[in-house]
């Protein structure tokens, strides 16, 4: 284990749930020197995610795990590297990453985090740390969902296809034509799903989001957009699909949409409409938890981690439901070693991925900023953007 550099304090502040259902608290944690394979990061910025709300208002995996240190993203500077850490990260590097909340070592809402190096990437030159910190959690989610839950391979590195035979041309065309429906495309997850699909050659992506986002979503790769705030969005999606079927008369027995990503997981808002669109053979990847009841000031959220228990009997036979669990992405050994250290920074550096639009959350203290961001999530005031805020009080 490395010792702490002299300028690093022995303890530091962190934002935690100390008792389920109670307001967030500021606690003091020991700063942990990095072990082999880890680095110590001075966390300057983080981003908030609806998962914070599921923890604070839905007690999701918080019971028996308090104090529960919050935060699934970190952005900051490496201040110490553990012995025998072969990641190439060095003191002074600007890094960003998707980490585990609930962990006193690595969670994001604390001034110093001790993080396995495979959960971090170097922030590319010319990219602001505030933009970078909006990316890793949901870009990792997008890649994991497409590969693990939709079953569509995303080979890395991406080599532009130069089909030399008719068979290869046929395969490339088949991929381009695969229909993927992204419901909740203006969410942070949705915007990265669109960009990932575009980069890997999927050209027939349908997006459901508020009309005000449609132009921006087309720039990210959506071919056709539908407004869920207008009447009969399901009828409009089905009408579009029927129009396609009429053009191609060989669709017999195949699902109208083989691949669906529900980026929201709301029982009434997204799953119920999708029961009318998914057919036998459709694969539906749903962001967990399913939100049966969204929280308000006076009401706790009601969440379900088993998508198979929601709207039972309302899906058509043969629909394949998959609950997305991004925290398990490292079970794919390739992604464990390459996704955050290499792929995420490269996609950002090559400007293939545009970070979500930022909404900076201001506040006098670390706790104020964390609480304000949580209130914005609770009030469903986040639309087509990511909440980003400063963690360290000892920077500008
Ligand atoms: N299980 C996992 O691995 C995993 C990973 C990542 C995220 N998640 C979960 O996925 C959900 C989304 O996360 P996020 O960070 O992407 O959220 P977000 O960006 O905060 O979501 C806000 C967006 O949701 C959209 N929205 C809300 N209700 C909708 C509906 N009925 N139809 C279409 N769009 C709707 C809004 O779209 P408009 O602006 O168009 O109105 C808004 O832009 C959260 O519950 C999160 O916890 C799960």
pLDDT band at 21 (very low <50, low <70, confident <90, very high): confident
Percent of the chain with pLDDT strictly greater than 90:
88
Please give the CATH superfamily to which domain 11-134+356-390 belongs: Medium-chain alcohol dehydrogenases, catalytic domain (3.90.180.10)
| Backbone phi and psi for residue 274, each to the nearest 5 degrees, phi listed first | -70, -25
pLDDT band at 167 (very low <50, low <70, confident <90, very high): confident
Q: Which atom of ligand 1 is nearest to the CA of 53?
A: 47
Contact 65, 102 (CB under 8 A): yes
pLDDT band at 396 (very low <50, low <70, confident <90, very high): very low
Mean of pLDDT over the chain: 95
Percent of the chain with pLDDT strictly greater than 70:
98
pLDDT band at 116 (very low <50, low <70, confident <90, very high): very high
> What was the pLDDT predicted at 252?
67
Angle at 344 between CA 343 and CA 346, to 5 degrees: 65
- H or E element in which residue 113 lies: strand 112-116
> What was the pLDDT predicted at 164?
76
Q: Which structure tokens are listed for 153? A: 């391979």
Q: Which structure tokens are listed for 56? A: 């604070």
Q: Which atom of ligand 1 is nearest to the CA of 269?
A: 31
Domain with CATH 3.40.50.720 in the chain: 138-327
Question: Residue range 301-314: average pLDDT?
Answer: 97
Top CATH class of 138-327 equals alpha beta
Q: Which atom of ligand 1 is nearest to the CA of 138?
A: 6
Within 6 A (CB) of ligand 1 lie: 49-51, 54, 138, 141, 183-184, 186-189, 208-210, 213, 228, 263-266, 269-270, 287-288, 324-326, 382-384
Contact 115, 105 (CB under 8 A): yes
Instruction: Tell me the per-residue pLDDT of 215-249, one tens digit each, with 9 for 90 and over.
Output: 999 999 999 999 999 999 999 999 999 999 888 75
Reply yes or no on whether the pLDDT at 161 is more than 80.
Answer: no
């Amino acid at each position: 284990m490395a010792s702490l550099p002299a300028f690093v304090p022995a303890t530091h502040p962190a934002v935690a749930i100390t008792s389920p259902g109670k307001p967030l608290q500021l606690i003091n944690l020991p700063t942990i020197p990095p072990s082999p394979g880890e680095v110590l990061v001075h966390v300057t910025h983080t981003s908030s995610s609806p998962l914070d709300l599921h923890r604070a208002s839905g007690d999701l995996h918080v019971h028996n795990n308090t104090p529960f240190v919050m935060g699934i993203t970190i952005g900051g500077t490496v201040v110490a590297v553990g012995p025998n850490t072969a990641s190439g990260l060095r003191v002074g590097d600007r890094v960003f990453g998707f980490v585990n909340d609930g962990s006193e070592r690595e969670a994001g809402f604390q001034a110093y985090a001790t993080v396995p190096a495979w959960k971090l990437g170097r922030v590319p030159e010319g990219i602001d740390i505030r933009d970078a910190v909006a990316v890793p959690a949901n870009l990792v989610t997008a890649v994991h969902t497409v590969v693990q839950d939709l079953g569509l391979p995303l080979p890395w590195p991406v080599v532009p296809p130069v089909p030399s035979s008719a068979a290869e041309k046929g395969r490339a065309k088949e991929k381009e034509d695969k229909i993927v429906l992204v419901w909740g495309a203006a969410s942070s997850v949705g915007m990265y799903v669109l960009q990932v699909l575009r980069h890997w050659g999927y050209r027939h992506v349908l997006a459901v989001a508020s009309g005000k986002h449609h132009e921006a979503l087309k720039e990210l790769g959506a071919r056709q957009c539908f407004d869920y705030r207008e009447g009969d969005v399901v009828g409009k999606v089905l009408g579009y699909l029927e129009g396609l079927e009429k053009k191609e008369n060989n669709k017999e027995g195949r699902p109208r949409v083989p691949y669906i990503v529900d980026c929201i997981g709301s029982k009434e808002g997204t799953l119920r409409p999708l029961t009318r669109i998914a057919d036998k053979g459709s694969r539906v990847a749903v962001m967990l938890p399913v939100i049966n009841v969204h929280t308000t000031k006076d009401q706790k959220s009601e969440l379900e981690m088993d998508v198979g228990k929601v709207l039972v009997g309302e899906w058509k036979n043969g629909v394949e439901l998959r609950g997305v669990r991004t925290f398990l992405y490292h079970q794919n050994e390739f992604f464990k070693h390459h996704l955050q250290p290499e792929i995420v920074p490269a996609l950002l550096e090559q400007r293939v991925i545009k970070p979500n639009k930022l909404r900076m959350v201001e506040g006098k203290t670390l706790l104020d900023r964390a609480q304000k961001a949580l209130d914005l999530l609770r009030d469903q005031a986040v639309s087509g953007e990511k909440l980003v805020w400063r963690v360290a009080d000892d920077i500008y």
